[in-house]
């Protein structure tokens, strides 16, 4: 019974680490894309005429 608990905890820990890495990569990638998008908007604001 205890061995099954250890295996379950190990699998859960590995899954948590994997999900954490994926979330970190997605977060960094979206942050970079937002910075680039914002810089382009700021650079092109002088071309907008109302």
For the purposes of burial, counting CB atoms within 10 Å of the CB of 39, is it exposed (0-12), middle (13-18) or buried (19 or more)? exposed
Sign of the alpha-carbon dihedral angle for 4, 6, 11, 15: positive
Residue pLDDT, tens place only, 11-32: 899 999 999 999 999 999 999 9
Q: What is the pTM of this model?
A: 0.70
DSSP 6-39: HHHHHHHHHHHHHHHHHHHHHHHHHHHHHHHHHH
Band (pLDDT 50/70/90 cuts) for residue 2 is: confident
């Amino acid at each position: 019974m205890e061995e099954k608990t250890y295996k379950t905890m190990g699998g859960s820990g590995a899954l948590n680490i994997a999900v954490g890495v994926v979330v970190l990569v997605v977060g960094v990638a979206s942050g970079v894309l937002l910075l680039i998008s914002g810089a382009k908007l700021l650079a092109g604001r002088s071309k907008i005429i109302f």
